[in-house]
Structure 1
Amino acid sequence: MPDAAAIAVPPLPGVPHATDRRGMLLYGLLGFAAGLPFYMFSTVLVLRLQAHGVALTVLGFFAWVQLLPTLKFLWAPLLDRYDIPGFGRFWGKRRGWIMLAQLGIFTAMVAMAWTSSDASLGVTALFAVLLAFWTTTLEIAADAWRIELYPTQDEQGPIVAANLWGYRSAMVAAGSGALLIADSGGWAFAYLGIAVAAFLPFPILVAMRSHGSEGSGRGGALATGVIASVVILGIVAAATAAIGWVALSLAAHAGIDAKSNVTPWVLGLCMLPFVAMAAALPRIRRAPADAPIRTSVALGPYVDFFWRYGFAAILLMAFVSIYRMGDVLALNLSKPMIKALGYSLSQIGRADGVVALFSSIVGVGLGGWLVTRWPMSWMLVIGAVVAGIGNFGFVWLAHQPVAESMLYVATAFDQFGNGFAGAVFVVYLSLLVNPRHAGAQYAFLTGFAFLLPRLLAGAGGAIVGVIGYDKFFLISGVASLAAIPFVPALTRVRARTDGEPEDGKSEDGA
């Protein structure tokens, strides 16, 4: 198991630290701000498009927007290297990026409200991608800031719990609140309402003290930051539109249409960088600290991960890609199965709005608390077991008579296991990263962790058509347990430090 000790980071002026409950409140709010937009470019967007008569095959393509967060390693190094003008000077690098991301989220959702008729699916797709991009950017910056401020396992537990409490509460609020608003006032008001709620942390961050000893110049820094943000948002929007146009043109030229299965190609392209780094491991392990491959802005953070862990990095990547497999596979198909069993939308809504939220909060809280007291190896095993039980709960539900109490039991087990395993997993991944590349390496690990599961989840409907819902959830439960055999090997993994030669001995031969 990698050494939990990390480089100590002293408290920054005006910034909450582990002993301050303000840290939990702030990260609960940041989690809430990141959780709200997620459903707006996924579940809520699909329902909106469906209401406007968009074909099912086209809806499948919009589901690919959810893959963008798995590719965040592509731009995460920029957040570790560069500051946002104005924002960065006064509030620091991490808060500066969070503030920019919040402006991006707000403008993207306002744009989605403005185009809520979905008259042009290309324009709708553009703003959905921008919303996913800036939501992911917010998560990258917030996670990097969290890892820098709270580097140890004991500190991570309560902060991760607070962050996930906020995130999961926001998902429930967006999933139910946006639909209630849309039902009474239309989709435009739904997106505007969620946009305002997601923007709440911005004025709070603005009101926080400077990251340095000098706190003057707040107004000038804010004005400069807003102007710089407008420019950056425009550049990102133009680049996204251009990339989308090129991608669609190439797809049309290659004969790819709505019925084409592009999953294998996407998976192959996504895996190429990691396969290349694994093949280059011997060279990476021999590279000195000043080698171009280790100092590169684009590749350096990821090369550093392989340099520190060597061939154990392959074991770690395999483990993280499997640990949440069961939960991700079950996510998209649990609601269709429940509906197919004969439960009404109101019954499903009550289970999601009350039981799911409470069970998830308890699971996250217990996982975040125990991870500060028990060895990480035990916590990983327990997390995998309770996540598997949550999936097996749907197998049990499929063979029970239709009763709302039965639905509550299955939902409670699923959400408790999901929350518990999620809290443990976030802390574990946070301890793997090098604090000098916190944003990029955490983005790499979390993106890779959900890449394979989300791609495989796209084929879940076809699998269910062959084996049925009960066997599908049996498989997803077993997938959760499949991570357990990795744990004994993980306990022997130790990160290499600067100055330590490739064979693991110190330079003096000790």
Structure 2
Amino acid sequence: MMLGFSAGLPFYMFSTVLSLRLQAHEVGLVVIGFFAWVQLLPTFKFLWAPLLDRFEVPGFGRFWGKRRGWIMLSQLGIFSSMLTMGLTSSDENLWITALFAVLLAFWTTTLEVAADAWRIELAPTQEEQGPIAAANLWGYRSAMVAAGSGALLIADQPGWGWAGAYLAIGTAAFLPFPLLASMRPDPGHGGSRTGALIAGIAASVAILLALTAATAAIGWLLLTAASGIGISGKTNVTPYVLAICMLPFLIMAAAVPKIRKLPPDAPWRRSVAIGPYVDFFWRYGFMGLALMAFVSIYRMGDVLALGLSKLMIKDLGYSLTQIGLADSYVALVASITGVALGGLMAARWPLAWALTVGAIFAAIGNFGFVWLAYQPKQELWLYIATAADQFGNGMAGTIFVVYLSMLVNPRYPGAQYAFLSGFAFLLPRLLSGAGGAIVERLDQAGYRGFDLFFILSGVLSLAALLFLPLIARARARPPDDEAA
């Protein structure tokens, strides 16, 4: 629960809260949509997840072990990124805003990878995953609510503004660090706590500075390349996004026949970098493609709503304070209730039935925003729409976490869960980045852009149910090597 809370606090600060902050500084809707692509970074966490399974953080690792060492480094990264975003909260230079939003997303994701690996190691069965996933998501979603509502309430106060909001949430996100530092050493580790802490902080500073410089250089190259081919704030990027979405499926489909024939000692299967991912397709074969298609659609409505729901509500005339209050106790109660029911269903029901119910309630949450647009501007209606959204997201999210955990090979818990959970949000987050452009196009065509957008996102969530008769029959191939 504590680890979920640590990871949940920063999430809204580079997604929903950042969108409202950019809107307040009169950044265009299309460009705000581009900023939603910062949320793509967690999708690609499989690229560095194997490092967390293999290496320890210098200093921290020698006393607190692999998992806690990475979590402590990640919390330092989260705090430094949030501090810088607070100090540059005027958004006069969007390059700086984008740089530290990306770094905040990276360190938040790294914390999640380490925590997820530990959770799967602790609870390898479906019955155990239900309650432990619910506890993790109680912490995660409670923190998201606290950060989302708290940041808006602070930002709306005279003398605080967006700088105060980011500094306050950044400080709260750092609070678990001293708790972790006070814990006993990991089994097989020990020595001087003070020496490990000093060495770990020194190594962390060097890692943070190096990663900031590398991210800035890569970002400059990408933005220069985009500008060179004519992509700007007025570009219709939707066709490009859809083309990119197809590439992973084409690559995987081409590779599966060869992967299925690989012997246990094949370099691809034994590789530290790609072995865990090759193992997934070796175990599931072409059924793995159906599984990937299903997981990439199941949370579609949640992700698309996250990027634009608060902008739509603000556009309806509600203040930051009203949105913050709706995102506080109303969202918290609804979310915790949804998580609890989702965890119970995942532990007791066949997963196919639990996934079905979760998808239906998630879609209802999206349709609730369309309903809100046609109601008089009253806080009660805002509370009802927010509660429906948070309840559905909490239920579907918990069931989905358990489902993904059951697909994982226990030999590669960190890497394979990172791969599955990351890929699950690739398509939704790519489309989310084009969300602003889609809404503007619909408005220009004479439609109510936000309304049609949320209807479409809810329908896409329900479309995942078409895969259930097929994926319910998925069975992993038994291992063929002695080590298993």
In structure 2, relative to structure 1, the CA distance for the partners of 1:241 and 1:393 (3 Å cut) is closer
- 1:409 pairs with one of 384, 400, 421: 384
Cα displacement (A) at 1:307: 0.7
Q: Using the alignment, how far apart are the partners of 2:25 and 2:452 within structure 1?
A: 34
**2:259 equivalent to 1:259:** no
- 1:461 pairs with one of 439, 444, 454: 439
State the Cα deviation string for residues 114-150 of structure 1 (Å, max 9, x = none): 3334343322222221111111111111111111111
The answer for the alignment partner of 2:219 in structure 1 is: 244
The answer for the alignment partner of 1:8 in structure 2 is: none
Contact 1:433 1:442 in 2 (8 A): yes
Within 5 Å, give how 1:85-234 maps onto structure 2: 85-182=58-155, 183=157, 184-213=159-188, 215-234=190-209
Cα displacement (A) at 1:401: 4.5
Amino acid at match of 1:178: A
Please tell me the root mean square deviation across aligned C-alpha atoms, in Å: 2.5
In structure 2, relative to structure 1, the CA distance for the partners of 1:381 and 1:57 (3 Å cut) is closer
Cα displacement (A) at 1:380: 1.0
Contact 2:147 2:169 in 1 (8 A): yes
In structure 2, relative to structure 1, the CA distance for the partners of 1:463 and 1:200 (3 Å cut) is same
In structure 2, relative to structure 1, the CA distance for the partners of 1:410 and 1:58 (3 Å cut) is closer
In structure 2, relative to structure 1, the CA distance for the partners of 1:148 and 1:270 (3 Å cut) is farther
Q: Using the alignment, how far apart are the partners of 1:316 and 1:296 within structure 2?
A: 23
The SS at the match of 2:264 is coil
Amino acid at match of 1:426: V
The SS at the match of 2:171 is helix
In structure 2, relative to structure 1, the CA distance for the partners of 1:497 and 1:180 (3 Å cut) is same
The answer for the alignment partner of 1:506 in structure 2 is: none
Q: Using the alignment, how far apart are the partners of 1:483 and 1:29 within structure 2?
A: 32
Q: Using the alignment, how far apart are the partners of 1:148 and 1:84 within structure 2?
A: 19
- 1:482 pairs with one of 463, 467, 472: 463
In structure 2, relative to structure 1, the CA distance for the partners of 1:497 and 1:403 (3 Å cut) is same
Q: Using the alignment, how far apart are the partners of 2:130 and 2:358 within structure 1?
A: 14
- 1:351 pairs with one of 311, 326, 334: 326
TM-score, with length taken from structure 1:
0.86
Q: Using the alignment, how far apart are the partners of 1:499 and 1:242 within structure 2?
A: 44
- 2:288 pairs with one of 305, 313, 319: 313
TM-score, with length taken from structure 2:
0.90
Q: Using the alignment, how far apart are the partners of 1:165 and 1:464 within structure 2?
A: 37
Within 5 Å, give how 1:22-33 maps onto structure 2: 28-33=1-6
Cα displacement (A) at 1:478: 2.5
Amino acid at match of 1:390: G
State the Cα deviation string for residues 451-496 of structure 1 (Å, max 9, x = none): 1122223234146535434444333332222222322222211111
Contact 1:263 1:455 in 2 (8 A): no
Cα displacement (A) at 1:270: 6.1
Unaligned stretches of 5+ in structure 1? 1-27, 502-510
Q: Using the alignment, how far apart are the partners of 1:351 and 1:223 within structure 2?
A: 42
Q: Using the alignment, how far apart are the partners of 2:130 and 2:162 within structure 1?
A: 38
Cα displacement (A) at 1:311: 0.7
The answer for the alignment partner of 1:235 in structure 2 is: 210
The SS at the match of 2:349 is coil
Q: Using the alignment, how far apart are the partners of 1:308 and 1:364 within structure 2?
A: 30
Q: Using the alignment, how far apart are the partners of 1:499 and 1:270 within structure 2?
A: 33
Contact 1:333 1:461 in 2 (8 A): no
Cα displacement (A) at 1:342: 5.4
In structure 2, relative to structure 1, the CA distance for the partners of 1:345 and 1:50 (3 Å cut) is closer
State the Cα deviation string for residues 358-403 of structure 1 (Å, max 9, x = none): 1111000111122222221221111112222223333444444444
**2:250 equivalent to 1:275:** yes
Cα displacement (A) at 1:303: 0.8
Contact 2:334 2:387 in 1 (8 A): yes
The SS at the match of 2:412 is helix
In structure 2, relative to structure 1, the CA distance for the partners of 1:329 and 1:191 (3 Å cut) is closer
Contact 2:46 2:418 in 1 (8 A): yes
Within 5 Å, give how 1:345-494 maps onto structure 2: 345-457=320-432, 458-459=434-435, 460-462=438-440, 464-465=442-443, 466=445, 467-468=447-448, 469-494=450-475
Overall identity of the aligned pairs, in %: 69
State the Cα deviation string for residues 27-60 of structure 1 (Å, max 9, x = none): x222222111122222333333444454544434
Contact 2:366 2:455 in 1 (8 A): yes
Contact 1:90 1:212 in 2 (8 A): no
Q: Using the alignment, how far apart are the partners of 2:334 and 2:193 within structure 1?
A: 42
State the Cα deviation string for residues 182-202 of structure 1 (Å, max 9, x = none): 333243332222111101221
In structure 2, relative to structure 1, the CA distance for the partners of 1:344 and 1:422 (3 Å cut) is same
Cα displacement (A) at 1:346: 4.6
Report the count of equivalent residues.
474
Task: Indicate the larger mover: 112-121 or 146-155.
Answer: 112-121
- 1:295 pairs with one of 250, 270, 281: 270
Amino acid at match of 1:392: F
Task: Indicate the larger mover: 354-363 or 467-476.
Answer: 467-476
Q: Using the alignment, how far apart are the partners of 1:314 and 1:263 within structure 2?
A: 24
Amino acid at match of 2:58: P
Q: Using the alignment, how far apart are the partners of 1:430 and 1:332 within structure 2?
A: 26
Cα displacement (A) at 1:344: 5.2
Amino acid at match of 1:482: A
Amino acid at match of 2:70: W
